[in-house]
A = this chain, B = another copy of it.
Amino acid sequence: MFHSELISLDNEVFRCYIGWSALLVLKMFAMSLLTGLMRFITLTFANPEDLMSPKLKVKFDDPNVERVRRAHRNDLENILPFFAIGLLYTLTNPSAFLAINLFRAVGISRIVHTLVYAVVVVPQPTRALSFFVALIATAYMAVQVIAAAAF
């Protein structure tokens, strides 16, 4: 079998992968917009050319802006590797049940991570748990891809 046959909308694992990936791209873009919103609310601009009034100065330490930026960076560190590994894992022809639930686990836990980090701050360990669910699910896929490559 050519493994590229798995790249098809007839493959429910592939459909699930592309759906969650695209949803997570939109979620990540929402972080850019939220950062921009926070910059305007707190008048915290990082570039002289962004200052809307000659009375303002560049500012880098607003805690609300920096919180959203930390959540966004955490997305870069965790969601972007998922885009690559989710596709490769799909190409290893995994069990549909397992694969679909892993993709759901990554998607839902990363949305929860954003909500409790950057929207409504919730006491720990909520954020840590949502972080580790996505990390462990993605790392499991990576291990399966390594096994497929090696044997």
Residue count of chain A within 8 Å CB distance of chain B? 57
Chain B residues in 8 Å Cβ range of A22: 85, 88, 141-143, 145-146, 149
Cβ-defined partner of A80 (8 Å) among B18, B32, B76: B76
Please name the residue on chain B nearest to A7 by beta carbon.
Answer: B4
Q: Are A138 and B8 in contact (CB under 8 A)?
A: no
Q: Are A149 and B2 in contact (CB under 8 A)?
A: no
Q: Are A84 and B85 in contact (CB under 8 A)?
A: no
Q: How many copies does the complex hold?
A: 3
Q: A16-B149, A21-B85 are in contact. Are A7 and B7 (CB under 8 A)?
A: yes
Which chain A residues numbered 6 to 43 have a C-beta less than 8 Å away from chain B?
6-9, 15-16, 18-19, 21-23, 25-26, 28-29, 31-32
Chain B residues in 8 Å Cβ range of A85: 21-22, 25
Which chain A residues numbered 46 to 81 have a C-beta less than 8 Å away from chain B?
46-47, 49-50, 67, 70, 72, 76-78, 80-81
Q: Are A78 and B4 in contact (CB under 8 A)?
A: no
Chain B residues in 8 Å Cβ range of A138: 25, 29
